[in-house]
């Protein structure tokens, strides 16, 4: 029951996470870097952007924490499942279980893929935040968020390898 609840909670957290990231993107798009060369205008831009981002960053951070907590429960259950499959003697049931978990893991692996432009965002915003300290929360949230998804993908790939070794 705990895995089922964690799966439901994970889906809810993923939805909130996606909504939060979309809101962050919308806000950033509404605030292009000023073309002016004055430091005062750039500082004002960064401060205004930072203030408007606070609620969306909190949403992403909170959802990320929920995702991590639920993922730990799900991942532990998946490890038990894979170990259990290993104990089943060769049979159609064993093959069905292997196919089922392999398909699920492949779906997750596919959903965790990020474009190169997304993967470099944390570095870009870390650089920008060096000049505009008020944007450090944005850089921090992007970095931890992208690392979280990357770690979930690595864990999924690790399980995929274990499942494939059972064939």
| 2-41 pLDDT per residue, tens | 666 767 888 899 899 989 989 998 999 999 888 887 889 9
| 62-93 pLDDT per residue, tens | 999 999 999 999 999 999 999 999 888 888 98
Decide if 43 contacts 132 (C-beta within 8 A): yes
- The structure's pTM equals 0.82
What's the DSSP call for residue 89? P
What is the distance in angstroms between the CA of the first residue and the CA of the last residue of the chain?
28
Decide if 74 contacts 10 (C-beta within 8 A): yes
Among 64, 58, 79, residue whose Cα is nearest residue 3: 79
From start to end of 40-156, where are the E strands? none
């Amino acid at each position: 029951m705990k895995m089922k609840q964690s799966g439901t909670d994970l889906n809810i957290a993923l939805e909130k996470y996606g909504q939060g990231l979309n809101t962050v993107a919308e806000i950033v798009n509404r605030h292009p870097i000023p073309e002016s060369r004055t430091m005062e205008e750039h500082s004002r831009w960064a401060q205004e952007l930072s203030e408007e981002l606070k609620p969306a960053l909190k949403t992403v951070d909170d959802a990320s924490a929920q995702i991590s907590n639920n993922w730990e429960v799900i991942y532990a259950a998946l490890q038990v499942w894979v170990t259990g499959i290993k104990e089943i003697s060769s049979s159609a049931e064993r093959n069905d279980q292997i196919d089922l978990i392999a398909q699920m893991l492949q779906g997750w692996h596919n959903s965790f893929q990020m474009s190169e432009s997304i993967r470099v965002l944390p570095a870009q915003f870390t650089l920008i935040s060096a000049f505009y300290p008020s944007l450090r929360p944005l850089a921090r949230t992007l970095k931890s968020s992208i690392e979280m998804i990357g770690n979930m993908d690595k864990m999924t790939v690790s399980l995929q390898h274990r499942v494939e070794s059972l064939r």
